[in-house]
Structure 1
Amino acid sequence: MELKLESIRYAHGSGHTDVCYGYNYSDKQIFSCGSDGYVRIWHEQQDDDLGSDFVAEQALSVACNETHYFVATNDNYVQGYTLADRKRDKIVFKFSAPVTHVFASESGKLVAACSCDMEIQLLQTVTNKIETFTGHTAPVLSVSIDPLDEFLVSTSCDGTSKIWELKFGAVVKTFSEVVPVKNDFYKAIVLGHCAWKPQSGSFLAVPKGLELFIYRRHTWEEKYRLSPPNIEQDLTAAIISPCGGYIAAGSVGGEIFLWEGRRQLLVGFYKDPKKIGICRMAWHSLGCHILFSDRVGRMGILTGIEDAIIKPPPVDQEARDSVFDCFDDDEDCISLEKIKSTCQSKFSENIGGDDGDVSDECSSRPASPSSSSVYRAVIPTPKVQPPFQPSSTPSNFEPRCLCYNSIGIVRYYDSDRTIDIQFHDTAFHHSLFLRSFGVCTMATLSSKVLCLAVPSVDDNASKLTCVSLGFGNKEWTTCMPEGEDILAVAASGDWVAAATNANNVRIFTFAGTQKQVLALAGPIVAMSGYEKKLFVTYHAGLFESQNINFGIYEVSGIYVRTMAPLQPLPLSPKSLLKWIGFTDEGTPCTYDSNGHVRILGHDCLHWMVVSNTQNQRKSSSDHYFVVGLSEANQNIRCILCRNSHYPLVIHAPTIVEISLRMPLCDTDDGKSIAEDTFWRLLFSIYTMQKISFDTQDVNSTFELPMKQAILKLFGGAINNSDDLRAVELASFMTEKALDVAVKYAMTQGRSHLAEKLKSIKPVDWNNYYPMHSANQPSNEDVDVRRFEVGDLNSQRDMFEESPQKVSRKENPINTEPRSYCNYSPQRRGGQNPFKKTATKTTESPKGLKYFDTLKKDFTSNQKSNKPFGMNQPLKLKLQANKKTTAEVVVTPENEEVDKETKERKFTEWFQHRMTSLAEDNPGATPSELVRIGTKIFKKEMGQVGKANNCLEVIESDSSWNSSKRSLLDDPRSIVKRFKNLDESL
């Protein structure tokens, strides 16, 4: 039933407000303090202001014992005042930061206080001895002392609640993820006030998220949890009735819930119509009133608790009989005092005791079928992660970062509803400042469009606004259908996607044309876009940890298709997804709250852990805010947040780069460092080969460190006489590395091992990762159908009569070769094209000379924390092959015959594969089709090592040029049709 609000009034100014009951006058006095710096004393019946004492600029907490009341202030002190004359008696505690909470024990022997300096101080009033407890990594929000003076529980902005044993001053139990992580007390909305069972302290109530957890004493095991129905926001405070039979909890949404603990039954509730968060609650000693304060300085009293206790929802016959035993058979009237006394005796059993037994009076009564206990299993369900935008800060930050990526940063100021957009490269676009935009909850930024989302407010529908960055700052806005709210947005160069609470992903072009509406199998978590790829994560169910699935879609032209099958997204146990996105090279990657960075495998069916950021931080309270990842440089771009999970974006934050480092065993060992370097670069070399034509640059940047790492491991195995591991490592080597290994084995007198190594077949690191396993169907066997829009009759000769199987031998996630912008300024004019400059090159040790540095490198790597071969950032030029003028090549006649044969084979092969190439690359020009076909032809003919020569022969040979012109001029040629189509568009 609904609790009654007897009275409510403004006691202090807007801000944090605290209240408590007095002791000397039988709860007839109420003490309150607030942000105006006053402590006020009230009479609960007359509601008169008996006195006001100004103590500081801000009074944050108040507590009472039998002789004094104590006030925690923002000037770093806890002051003690006498109850008799309200005069300041002494300064109880001194801290180095504002004091957030003060608590007096039931016995009156102990007083505890906590502060923003992450310390807790405990005073023994008899001996005036003060003890200090340290262990939290953020400002402490609240403290509570066990009624038996044995334990103390504290809650901090670091998200944890700790139980301290006062005798030894040590932590005996830590509860994680109790409150949201903050770095400032004044920004914390959830305070996490815990409560002990009065008198015995046999159980502890801890508000955690949307539930109230009950823990047993000593073992600290969860006995049960209470879940309020239809709760909107997190619980912030808990109190227990003086009899110990009832529990109340308040939320940051202005809701107060009342449970009967024995049956875990909700018997009363109150909901503030203004939804103002609760700060503190106190229970009257007679159990008839609940006192509370909120965040705007109001103080209220709830009544009707007796009615909720006497008339709960339908119960069994035994509980009903226990109430009617209050009356005699010949009584004509109802005695409220008799009912209260009887109910307190019937329902004051130890609900948090170790055995949970009822009272002797109830246990002596014979059990009946109607009074038999019914035990219902409590299924623990995790708090479902809400949707979020990658690289954004929480909504309570001021200003709030809505988006931070390689393009720029988007800030939102809630005070004046303005949006500030700053670009990293001012030559690309000037800064933008949007005034009076309204409430904006999310944003994303790409090279062509700025996307902003507005939630639905009252009768106004949720809106999506996009500002074009390259066409005169044109913008367009569209409203969502009734009942749909935007929860996540993503954008790329040519499209914009918005996910709604209807489990739909609505796709638009960057100019505002509506496209497909994708259906998800669960609520959205986050989205990210890169070129034509859309990375989507959504909830798939509930288990002990977050159960999140993901899918990757290709949004290209007039169709949308799946690039990776829908499958579960791996996360660390009991962790949350913190960031999703793509590497600079286009590989999907994720980052969770435990610091693990994962990259999607080349087969799109497995994830690989490439780094753990928690191993690279100096303090446990530091966290990294990820904004990007580079496979070329093998590092993570992030912001270091000290004592917080999120950065402050008042000014442009400093970006730091931390190297990728796989979480192998014995990470500081030289062997593990070499293993990490080899396998991590082996994973990335395939991606780099896909996006770069400069094969020599890729080889020098990736293959050289890989060769050094594998030879270092091989040398260590030889020195340790571990032939089995040496043979195994040799099976991972290329032909050149294997020759060096054989020579080194011979010089070490291991001729038998050298003979074994000669029989090993070398591997090619560029083609080490297969695209499908033996037990899985190839992509060629999958019928991938594209749903085109337009006149099928006019396109039938282009795409044949019906959609065909698309041959996809390469990984669909990897991007096609493309040119990268060089951000370093270079002088182009005034250079002599005929000038020759002698360049000095530093060569690495060749042959057996490399093994002379094995011992020295092992020693230096063990002392250094940097991965082997990664002391300097990997710099890789990713640029397309430049067009060169025709050169006259003088070769023997036999070489000319070979080239003519290769050219003739390629011409026949290209004519045969032209249709499939055009379908796989719908946006490619004829010259790009020739280049793509050349690369595929080289791979199939085993000409990878002679890529440049083959390309020069094909481009320079006059016969091939004439054949290419014939392909372009032939009206029946599909290349000619693509060219005409491009010219018409």
Structure 2
Amino acid sequence: MQSAIQPGCTQLSSCKRRFLAYNMLGSISSCESDGFSHVEVDFHDTSRGLRVPSMTDYFGFTMAAMNDKGSIFANPQKGEKNPSTLLYRPFNSWTNNSEWSMRFPVEEEVKAVAIGNGWAAAATSLRFLRVYSEAGLQTFVLSLSGPVVALAGHEHQLAVVIHASNPLASGDQMLEFLALDMRKKRQTQAGRLPLSPGATLTWLGFSEAGCLSTYDSEGVLRVYSSEFNGCWVPLFRASEERKGTDVNFWMVGLNSTQVFCVVCKAPSVEPQVLPKPVLGIFSTSVPVIHSDLGADDLENAYLRGILQLTQAHTKAVEAAVAGCDDEDEEESLLKMEVEVDRCLLRLIAAACKGDKLAKALELSTQLSLQKSLEGAIKVVNAMRLPSLAERLSLILEERITRERLEAGANRHKGDLVSSYMASPVTTHAPFPRGPKTQGQQSQPNYSPVADAHIQVPDRAAELASSPVDINSTAHPFKPALSKAHKRVTADAMEPDLKVPLEVGNTGDDPLTNLSKKSMAPSGVVNAYGKLKPSNPFAKPVIAPMRHDTEGSEKSDSILLSLKKIQHGAIDVQVQRKASSTPVK
């Protein structure tokens, strides 16, 4: 079985120097002298202005990982007096004493480490994966199903590779991988890790876009893709770049179009610390077979463009679900689609030139933009292929019709949602309760829960025949409040009934003049002065309300009905004079 590796770490050279970590950001090197080591951190971009002071290593660290915020170190166990130690060192902190360390028991040894945004992880010989926060808090401990092979971190992602079983008789390693989201604490990817026949894993990491990648001893770089519910796509082979020279490629990192390696002269497979290694830049390429079309480069570019577009779409969907839409990402997606369509147009022209009309038609169906399809029709007409041009015109018409139908369906759906939101529904009429004022009778046994939902009746006929006061500004769903209620502040209300008080400009408060008779135990008086019977299936009865005013005769008034108008800008208060007998 393959032993555990640390990506970007090298073995101790004859000059007693080694790389503890080397990635696209910088490097951590160690130099032994007089029984202890001297650790230095260097960044490739010297314009960052951040200089990390060197550190004296008394533990004998053999592995490390770094990002733009800090670094994590670990050393193997060397007897009972020198156990395995984990050390975190931030590059820039608001406090002086921000480093922390963990000493492991004698029976447990650190095999691999990784670091990300706000977390650090260590895999041990007891098949434990220990996760720590940036301040040193032990946040999680989980068990691995096999011996660890490698760890890698990127932002909130952690990749773990373990042994699934013993190697096969042919020498093939049986490895599995896990991809964990440390922020949401969930597993995002898992499965068997592919390797070349008889090869071992030599590097594990993430691209600049956050795509999980691996590199084996046979020089094959693979990138994880979400297509087919998860698969590995080969994007680089060192055998095609050697060109007969006896060199080895030491993987450092990659982006969407380029691979960064250190070219080592054989038999060396790792770079030396001094002089500083120089990165070699190579283009990504999918291993395509030579076809009769003679456009291998175009097919390779098309496959790489499709892979990048799929990865970008996956991230855009995740961002949309999280509510983090970005216009720059949409523009980059459009640029990728344009590049893929441009490559397809060249392939269509090459197929028409080689009299491969069926292939040209199939390539035309892969175009994503309408303008690209119109351009394909122009190319075909210029080559005087009317039959193919006619078929492409039919495809264009079908696409235009489908887009119009989809746009109409989306517009109809939006109209339905708007009408539903504007339609009158069950309203909630809060009953503000405050201290008893002068002229206001006590209201015992009042339950706001029993009067929480009030259905607004549809009585259009009565509204049409009733006098309407259009000058009134009273809220249609709350009765006008008296001066006594105006003096009630929100602090005097109960917490579950705190609502802003809205006051009308006409009429007295009908709530302050409710008679004790209307508060009979047979029903509850709601905010509209209606007597709500105890039987939920009984028809509601409108109770009379009397207004006592100085210098005028006593008269009865009834709040007939309230209705919220759909287009919603007019508030109506209906008043009606009634006889001395109650209206039932």
Q: TM-score, normalised by structure 2?
A: 0.62
Deviation at 1:540, TM superposition (A): 0.8
Q: 2:251 matched to 1:626?
A: yes
Q: 2:220 matched to 1:612?
A: no
**Matched-pair contact (CA < 8 Å) for 1:423–1:431:** no
**Corresponding residue to 1:469 among 91, 103, 111:** 91
Deviation at 1:723, TM superposition (A): 1.7
Q: Secondary structure at the match of 2:7?
A: coil
**Matched-pair contact (CA < 8 Å) for 1:449–1:493:** no
Quote the residue 1:389 is aligned against.
6
**Matched-pair contact (CA < 8 Å) for 2:236–2:284:** yes
Deviation at 1:696, TM superposition (A): 6.8
Quote the residue 1:408 is aligned against.
26
Quote the residue 1:810 is aligned against.
none
2:64 & 2:293 partners in 1: Cα distance? 44
**CA-based RMSD:** 3.0
Quote the residue 1:756 is aligned against.
391
Q: 2:42 matched to 1:422?
A: yes
- The one-letter code sitting in structure 1 at the alignment partner of 2:39 is I
- The one-letter code sitting in structure 2 at the alignment partner of 1:715 is A
Quote the residue 1:682 is aligned against.
306
Listed as ranges, the matches of 1:896-907 within 5 Å are none
Q: Secondary structure at the match of 1:507?
A: strand
1:537 & 1:906 partners in 2: Cα distance? 54
**Matched-pair contact (CA < 8 Å) for 2:65–2:72:** yes
- The one-letter code sitting in structure 2 at the alignment partner of 1:755 is E
Quote the residue 1:523 is aligned against.
147
Q: Secondary structure at the match of 1:417?
A: strand
Deviation at 1:712, TM superposition (A): 1.3
Identity over aligned residues, as a percent? 28
1:469 & 1:571 partners in 2: Cα distance? 36
Deviation at 1:403, TM superposition (A): 0.6
Relative to 1, partners in 2 of residues 1:583 and 1:436: Cα closer, same or farther, differing over 3 Å?
A: closer
> Structure 2 regions of 5+ residues with no counterpart?
317-325, 400-410, 422-494, 497-584
**Matched-pair contact (CA < 8 Å) for 1:596–1:611:** yes
Quote the residue 1:549 is aligned against.
176
Quote the residue 1:452 is aligned against.
73
**Corresponding residue to 2:365 among 726, 731, 738:** 731
Listed as ranges, the matches of 1:824-973 within 5 Å are none
**Matched-pair contact (CA < 8 Å) for 2:213–2:222:** yes
Quote the residue 1:560 is aligned against.
185
1:601 & 1:445 partners in 2: Cα distance? 25
1:458 & 1:637 partners in 2: Cα distance? 39
Q: Secondary structure at the match of 1:579?
A: strand
**Corresponding residue to 1:434 among 42, 47, 55:** 55
1:470 & 1:763 partners in 2: Cα distance? 59
Listed as ranges, the matches of 1:32-181 within 5 Å are none
> Structure 1 regions of 5+ residues with no counterpart?
1-383, 765-897, 909-970, 973-985
**Matched-pair contact (CA < 8 Å) for 1:667–1:673:** no
1:763 & 1:659 partners in 2: Cα distance? 38
1:408 & 1:742 partners in 2: Cα distance? 50
Quote the residue 1:747 is aligned against.
382
**Matched-pair contact (CA < 8 Å) for 1:389–1:442:** yes
Relative to 1, partners in 2 of residues 1:548 and 1:696: Cα closer, same or farther, differing over 3 Å?
A: closer
Q: 2:128 matched to 1:501?
A: no
Listed as ranges, the matches of 1:265-414 within 5 Å are 384-396=1-13, 398-414=16-32
**Matched-pair contact (CA < 8 Å) for 1:731–1:762:** no
Quote the residue 2:492 is aligned against.
none
Deviations 1:62-116 (A, max 9, x none): xxxxxxxxxxxxxxxxxxxxxxxxxxxxxxxxxxxxxxxxxxxxxxxxxxxxxxx
**Matched-pair contact (CA < 8 Å) for 1:732–1:763:** no
1:407 & 1:906 partners in 2: Cα distance? 55
Relative to 1, partners in 2 of residues 1:905 and 1:621: Cα closer, same or farther, differing over 3 Å?
A: farther
- The one-letter code sitting in structure 2 at the alignment partner of 1:635 is Q
**Matched-pair contact (CA < 8 Å) for 1:595–1:612:** yes
- The one-letter code sitting in structure 2 at the alignment partner of 1:476 is W
- The one-letter code sitting in structure 2 at the alignment partner of 1:469 is F
Deviations 1:546-585 (A, max 9, x none): 11100101111xx621111x31001111111111111111
Relative to 1, partners in 2 of residues 1:679 and 1:438: Cα closer, same or farther, differing over 3 Å?
A: same
2:145 & 2:118 partners in 1: Cα distance? 26
- The one-letter code sitting in structure 1 at the alignment partner of 2:203 is W
- The one-letter code sitting in structure 1 at the alignment partner of 2:30 is Y
**Matched-pair contact (CA < 8 Å) for 2:374–2:396:** no
Relative to 1, partners in 2 of residues 1:658 and 1:762: Cα closer, same or farther, differing over 3 Å?
A: farther
Q: Secondary structure at the match of 2:164?
A: strand
Deviation at 1:485, TM superposition (A): 0.6
Deviation at 1:703, TM superposition (A): 3.0
**Matched-pair contact (CA < 8 Å) for 1:549–1:568:** yes
Relative to 1, partners in 2 of residues 1:555 and 1:761: Cα closer, same or farther, differing over 3 Å?
A: farther
Quote the residue 1:831 is aligned against.
none
Deviations 1:788-839 (A, max 9, x none): xxxxxxxxxxxxxxxxxxxxxxxxxxxxxxxxxxxxxxxxxxxxxxxxxxxx
2:40 & 2:293 partners in 1: Cα distance? 47
Relative to 1, partners in 2 of residues 1:554 and 1:700: Cα closer, same or farther, differing over 3 Å?
A: closer
Listed as ranges, the matches of 1:205-220 within 5 Å are none
**Matched-pair contact (CA < 8 Å) for 1:597–1:611:** yes
**Matched-pair contact (CA < 8 Å) for 2:61–2:73:** yes
1:454 & 1:902 partners in 2: Cα distance? 65
Quote the residue 2:115 is aligned against.
491
Q: Secondary structure at the match of 1:755?
A: helix
* Paired residues, number: 389
1:593 & 1:667 partners in 2: Cα distance? 29
Deviations 1:390-421 (A, max 9, x none): 12212446311111113320011134422111
Name which one, 1 or 2, has greater alpha-carbon Rg.
2
- The one-letter code sitting in structure 2 at the alignment partner of 1:719 is K
**Matched-pair contact (CA < 8 Å) for 2:293–2:350:** no
Q: 2:317 matched to 1:658?
A: no
**Matched-pair contact (CA < 8 Å) for 1:733–1:763:** no
Deviations 1:447-491 (A, max 9, x none): 222100021111132110111222146211111233111000000
- The one-letter code sitting in structure 1 at the alignment partner of 2:254 is L
Relative to 1, partners in 2 of residues 1:705 and 1:520: Cα closer, same or farther, differing over 3 Å?
A: same
2:182 & 2:269 partners in 1: Cα distance? 33
Relative to 1, partners in 2 of residues 1:700 and 1:396: Cα closer, same or farther, differing over 3 Å?
A: same
Quote the residue 2:434 is aligned against.
none
Deviation at 1:667, TM superposition (A): 9.7
2:135 & 2:31 partners in 1: Cα distance? 27
Quote the residue 2:354 is aligned against.
720
**Matched-pair contact (CA < 8 Å) for 1:637–1:656:** yes
